Structure 1
């Protein structure tokens, strides 16, 4: 890759520049680029004015010239050749290549992305990995970029302008960047392979005319790694080498294991390949799953207990120092195949199982949500592999890794061949890594115990809101808890605490409720949404927060019209001693007694006297009156243990009390939340300004208690969240 061959391409009309792109000089008058850089996207025709700057602006000597489109691919591939009006004096020639094998290749290139634009276009050195086995549906190469720009606030693509950049592997042109891919953290580009267009007759003819001749594609694969001199090897590499020597025993075994590992890694192995033991270590270090894959072939040849102990110690040490992943290539691929269908059919299962299996662990981000999309499955597995293990059980043998524990829980939750295949997979991994069968069986027993009691449906989805006082706008820190009918509850933890706007919090809540509907045993049970707030938050109109339309067909509606949504203020129990006992007494006394707090009990003293005497067992208060009085009266009700309080947020005076009569506020208490939900929907659809905005506090008599499994491992406190 020569910087003097870099090209910046600008197309448009005589009056206006319209597109920017990249290119590469492959002959003194030929520039290779992407076709869409040269075309008007509205008409599809090429721009009448195309200007090219050849050379690297940071290296000096940039030459500007005009150009014409000489060639585009007849089958519509997004590549083109420009003919320059002026000949460039650049010595040498371009070599062409075609990646082969399975192992990822390092690539590089030069381009002019919009992210590097300041007063002019800056150059970005593209670099990363090209995985030959990865491609999009059109057969384009997938380029995983080492560094990538963040999304822009103006909506424009930060990679815009990088299209047309030549892609190099080992100084061979192997493709042309044609598209960015905003998934995978915006770190992925797509390139048209040189093999797809280099053999075209028109392309061939132009290179015969302007270059040294037709392109000859050289097969490129990942070279087999060679160990550096002993003085340059790390202490970890030397320790791994020493352990392997004890396991292998004879030097002849090194070559056989190296050839088997290279084949698994997708590298071509020449007949005369004769690696040394340090070369074998370098080969294992060339891929994150190299040592795990090597240990699989080593385990098959070990015939004595000492060798097994040495291999187990080697794998434990390697994981402790970060030398490779837990799973081999074959094990990773097998688990992905097993979980793909399960994740697609039951997207809430893996996060739910992870919350139970890994209670004392800070879960990876994909598993911290209520559901796991199939596209995030690999990321979740990769992050679980790197998590710290639990304590050793038994007899100093390796612990059961987090990933295997989760696999056992998923196996317990499914049935049939899938469950059997998952258990067989975890047993094979446990055997290779030296995990004692008793330790794995304990995890299986825990998983079966969990699966046997997982039928209790979710009774309430609890959203805890805390105001983010540091945010410049209205934002809240959110925590979601799932409370079940059997008294257990689960907290949905997010890997990073990021405050949300009301709309974002509403979407997060709705997504949670939607995933709860998919849980086993939920059936027709519609979850109740309880919003936990502090005293200052009792005025929040959370029921009016709008998450937007769920899809293109169903109209939007606020949370309060979609769910039975009530408020709760647990904070009051910290200030009012005996409040919880008073709540339980009022619930136990039944719902026959209600208090309508009208003008006769307008003062806090009068209201408190009624709730302590004639209405000592009242479970419900309908609160009327002006706004400036309601806050204090509401707090009196809550402090004295009244579990249900209803009021109109928009009421300004006692004369507005009649507005709430449409709700039948003193009617059957059990149906009140549903009546409020339906009325909120009517208010949302109506344009009448005089309709009330009902707010409802509903305190449960007993708060759910967490129920945990009795495990020997994991160690409590590890990654505590």
Structure 2
């Protein structure tokens, strides 16, 4: 990395700049940067004017130049070339690189982040680790060492660093494009050079301006070595002692260490590690220990086999690493990808059944999984045990193996057999008792033979986000089953949603419910759980966000049976639930319709405690303030079904609910309400009722949990 090649880029109009970013001079006239640095956020089109300053104040004077956009990636990748209007002649050339191996590499870069802004834009030295196993195929993760505090004004702390060139050793390996908010400004994303440096037009521009094409040399991490003996931790010394027991012969230890290093894609010429060096290698890579012991543990017997089992169990405490070796992980990912292709909903359906008491990785709560989700699921489950008992003196069964057994039990032949063979091999390597794995396999087979309990309703918990002036809501969506179990689809700990976004998420959840086994083709029932202030919400009128080329968005109350529930209305929930059960059992055919004679709360309360003590349904009329107090009384006294017109001005509007036959058959009421709402949406010119329906289920639905906000894991442009 040559600081003299650093570029500060300002893009905008001739009058003033609108965006600031970073870049790197790769030939005397070409500057490499991120495409979005050059674009108008509103239109997505390039700004008409670009000004570039080349150089670093610590290395003499800088050079100012105008520039033109020369090249953008044809597939829309976030990278571009600017051509400045004058040559900046510097000694040396840019060398290009491609990281290899799986060990983290050190990286460096220079950029102009907003967090380093004073009176002027000051350069910041980016540096940290690039872990090749993190991220996706088309991006690098950069774990930044020195990092700014996240900004309170919602601007990106790293804003302006986009376009900075990233170096591993002396080779340019990527371009910064994003900041990951969920890591608190400690993580950046870079576009790998290998994704653009071999594009035909990119190559031709470099040949024209530099005379040579970019050649991607490999860049690998140096082999780890042990610290001086006095600096080694007790954990490192204990781990070294266990390895000495397993590899008493120096030649054997060196041979196994070299095999492991080659598997991790290190250069091993001249590598003759001590036991302490081997410990350093195991600590540097999460899958190293499992990879080291995979073959020798399976062939060992007697005391040596016992020593391997103890090492696998103890080493995860001494030097926390991953459960699986590199090959084991790759094999499982391949198998699960095949499962996902054949039965895309099997894995998220099996996970809560196999591990009902575990906190599942978030990726397993989604109805649709991609390959990145599968990777995240494996990583998350490697940390868990299944918590069931095992024979004394044997290691616990990993949660991952239990889930694999459940997936195998429902997977098509021969894929199920391959999954079971994989599970058996891992259990054998870890020293898991055969009987313990057999019990999990039997559980999985029984589950696969049992018909899944059908979904009775989709439950959406909503709570107003009071931290914003906009109408936004925290949401949590789950599928409630007939047997009382449930499956979370949308977590509460997410960014709050607009009504349109919440309606769209609900539509996705309903689509998932319809594809569950045994569901059939019927109108889904959506229960919206609210607090008492949420009883005023017109949730049934929310429309999914996102245009449709053919069908306009339609209110969700026309598509589904949408009813409200307020389970936490009173402190003594047990009494209220008993009242609800009694009313459901004895009062399904009874209806109380309020009128002017029930004008005060005391009268209504008296009726619900005497002649209507068992009534299950109340239809509320009257002015809004009176309806609200009457509603609270009804719900507190355990009335499970309450219907009212939220747009009514008084008792004179009672006839507007007549089309619903509010005292007709109770079981058909939700469908009558849906049809009424559908007719209203089709004829907005008519002044019709806007019915709200509370329907507390006959039997408990999943208890609502506190809703909390957090930033979602997402990338945003660093500038």
The two structures share one fold, judged by TM-score above 0.5: yes
Give the superposition deviation at 1:10.
4.6
Tell me the residue number matched to 1:250.
249
Indicate whether 1:122 and 2:127 are aligned: no
**1:676–1:382: structure 2 CA closer, same or farther, 3 Å change rule?**
same
Tell me the residue number matched to 1:261.
260
Give the superposition deviation at 1:179.
5.1
**1:655–1:442: structure 2 CA closer, same or farther, 3 Å change rule?**
same
Tell me the residue number matched to 1:630.
627
Provide the rounded CA distance (Å) in 1 between the counterparts of 2:624 and 2:131: 65
The answer to whether the Cα contact below 8 Å between 1:487 and 1:704 also exists between their aligned partners in 2 is yes
**1:38–1:46: structure 2 CA closer, same or farther, 3 Å change rule?**
farther
Map 1:72-471 to 2 at 5 A: 85=86, 93-94=92-93, 96-99=95-98, 101-103=100-102, 105-113=105-113, 120-127=120-127, 142-147=139-144, 162-163=162-163, 165-171=164-170, 173-175=171-173, 177=175, 187-193=188-194, 196=198, 203=206, 207=210, 219-270=218-269, 272-302=270-300, 304-343=301-340, 346-387=343-384, 390=387, 393-465=390-462
Give the superposition deviation at 1:672.
0.8
- Aligned-residue Cα RMSD (Å) equals 4.3
2:567 to 567, 570, 574: 570
1:512 to 509, 513, 516: 509
Tell me the secondary structure at the aligned position of residue 65 of structure 2: strand
Unaligned runs of 5+ in 1: 707-721
Provide the rounded CA distance (Å) in 2 between the counterparts of 1:168 and 1:111: 12
The answer to whether the Cα contact below 8 Å between 1:344 and 1:373 also exists between their aligned partners in 2 is no
Tell me the residue number matched to 1:54.
54
Deviation per CA, 1:358-383, whole angstroms, max 9, x where unpaired?
33222222234455444322122212
**1:489–1:203: structure 2 CA closer, same or farther, 3 Å change rule?**
closer
Tell me the residue number matched to 2:716.
none
Provide the rounded CA distance (Å) in 1 between the counterparts of 2:600 and 2:208: 96
Select between 79-88 and 656-665 the one with higher mean Cα deviation.
79-88
Give the superposition deviation at 1:647.
1.2
Tell me the secondary structure at the aligned position of residue 387 of structure 2: coil
Provide the rounded CA distance (Å) in 2 between the counterparts of 1:435 and 1:80: 56
Indicate whether 1:620 and 2:620 are aligned: no
Tell me the secondary structure at the aligned position of residue 323 of structure 2: coil
Deviation per CA, 1:446-477, whole angstroms, max 9, x where unpaired?
32333333422101223344566677666655
Provide the rounded CA distance (Å) in 2 between the counterparts of 1:166 and 1:669: 67
Select between 666-675 and 571-580 the one with higher mean Cα deviation.
571-580
**1:152–1:180: structure 2 CA closer, same or farther, 3 Å change rule?**
farther
Give the superposition deviation at 1:84.
7.5
The answer to whether the Cα contact below 8 Å between 1:30 and 1:84 also exists between their aligned partners in 2 is yes
- TM-score normalised according to structure 1 size: 0.82
Provide the rounded CA distance (Å) in 1 between the counterparts of 2:635 and 2:266: 71
Give the superposition deviation at 1:115.
6.7
Deviation per CA, 1:110-134, whole angstroms, max 9, x where unpaired?
2235675565433243445567899
Provide the rounded CA distance (Å) in 1 between the counterparts of 2:505 and 2:233: 47
Tell me the secondary structure at the aligned position of residue 670 of structure 1: coil
Give the superposition deviation at 1:306.
1.0
Give the superposition deviation at 1:600.
3.8
Tell me the secondary structure at the aligned position of residue 668 of structure 2: helix
**1:426–1:227: structure 2 CA closer, same or farther, 3 Å change rule?**
same
Select between 680-689 and 609-618 the one with higher mean Cα deviation.
609-618
Tell me the residue number matched to 1:690.
687
**1:189–1:621: structure 2 CA closer, same or farther, 3 Å change rule?**
same
Unaligned runs of 5+ in 2: 704-719
| Greater C-alpha Rg | 1
Select between 126-135 and 5-14 the one with higher mean Cα deviation.
126-135
Tell me the secondary structure at the aligned position of residue 286 of structure 2: coil
**1:484–1:196: structure 2 CA closer, same or farther, 3 Å change rule?**
closer
Counting matched residue pairs gives 690
**1:154–1:283: structure 2 CA closer, same or farther, 3 Å change rule?**
closer
The answer to whether the Cα contact below 8 Å between 1:126 and 1:145 also exists between their aligned partners in 2 is no
